[in-house]
Structure 1
Amino acid sequence: MKMIIADDHPLFRKGVRNLLGTTEDLEVVGEASSGDEALELAGTLQPDLVLMDIRMPGLNGIEVTRLIKQAYPHIEVLILTMFRDDQSVFTAMRAGAKGYVLKDADEDELLQSIRMVGSGRAVFSSDIAGRMIHFFSSPTAAEPANHPELSELTKRELEILQLIAVGDTNAQISAQLNISVKTVANNVSNLLNKLQVADRNEAGKLLQRSREE
C-alpha cells in the first residue's frame, strides 16, 4: 500500500515513517508539511492512502481531504490528529475521510487502522467511536453545536467571514476592506482552520446558522 504522510511536524512524520518501515506491506512514497503540498503530492504520486493531519499551514487537512476525494476518489484518507471534538470528526467524515484516529493511539492500533482504511473499510479510535455511538443513539441527536468556534476569530477574520457568507470572492473582499488579495487568502485559510470546516461554503453556512439560533 503506497502512502503519503501529511503533517507539519517533521519529528512526528519521522516517527510514523519509521514505524511503517518495520512493515512489509506499507510504503511511504511521499511526505507533505502543508495542506497545499499534500494535495499536490496526491495528484503526482497517486497513493492508495493519505495519512492526514487536520491543522497544517495553508489548506487544512479537512479541506485537502475534500479536494482529494473530489479529484481522486480512489485515494483513501485517514485522519490522524489530536483533535477529538465532535465538530472535527463530523466535518472530516463529510469531507470524505474514511477513518479518524487520534495521535495518542498505540502503534498496533495505528497500523490496523491504516490497513482497514486502505482496504476500503471505515475506522475510528475507540474513544471517538464510543462518542459517535452515544451521539447517534441519543433521541435528540442533531449536528453537534459548533458556534463557540466563532469566538476564536479575530475581528478581521469575522469581517471576512461575513463577506464570505454573502458570496463575495477574495477579490471583492480585498476591494471592500482595502487589503491585499493575499492577506484575504491568508485570513480565509486561518478562519477555516479555526472553524474546522471543509470550505468557504460551510463557513458561511455556520455563520448563517449562528444568526438564526
Structure 2
Amino acid sequence: MTETEQRATRDQRARFEALARVVAEPLHRYLLRRAEPDQVDDVLAETLLVLWRRIEDVPGLATEHAPVLVPDPDAVLPWCYGVARGCLANARRADRRRRSLLERLTWTAAGSARETGDADHTALHTALAQLRPLDREIVQLWAYEELTPSRIAEVTGLSANAVSIRLHRAKKKLAARLERKTGPGAGHETGEGQGSEESGRSSR
C-alpha cells in the first residue's frame, strides 16, 4: 500500500469513527423501537458496516480534503436512519425466508401445518447441515428463492427430472430428521431398552 493509500485509509477511519460516535446510540434506540430484541445488535452492526463502506456518501460529513470535525447530528442522522431502515428490512426478509423454509419443511414432516418454536430453527439447521452439499443447495433454492425444479436445474446444471428426484428425497430425509427432533418423543429415550429390561426382570 502506498503512502497516499495509507493516508486515505487513515482519513476514512477517522471520519467513520467521528460519525459512529455521533450516530451509534441514536441508531441503537431507533432499532430498539422497531426490531426484534435478538435482531438489534446484528442490524446495528450491518448498518455501521454500510456506513463504513459508503462514508463518502454520508451528507454533512467532512470530506477527505477537509479536517475531521464532530458531525452535526441533524445533518447526518436522517441519512443514517435510512441506511438502518434498509438493513432492518433486509433482516426481516431473511427472517421471513427462514420461517417460510421451516414452515414448508415442517408441513412436509408432519403432513399438516403446525405451530413451531425457536428450537425448531436449530433442528432445521442441523438437519440441513446433514444433507449433501448439492441436495442442501437444491432445498434452499426451492425454499428460500422459491424456484421451480426447472429453474433450479438452470442454476445447478442438472436436469429438471434429477432436481425433482433429489428434492423429493432430500425433503423426506429432512422430514424424518425433524420428526425425530421435534416430534412427541423428541429428547426421550425409546422404550426398546425399557422393554428389554422389563422382560429380563419378568424372566427372573
> Which range, TM-score by smaller chain?
under 0.3
Higher Rg of the two aligned structures: 2
More helix by share: 2
More strand by share: 1
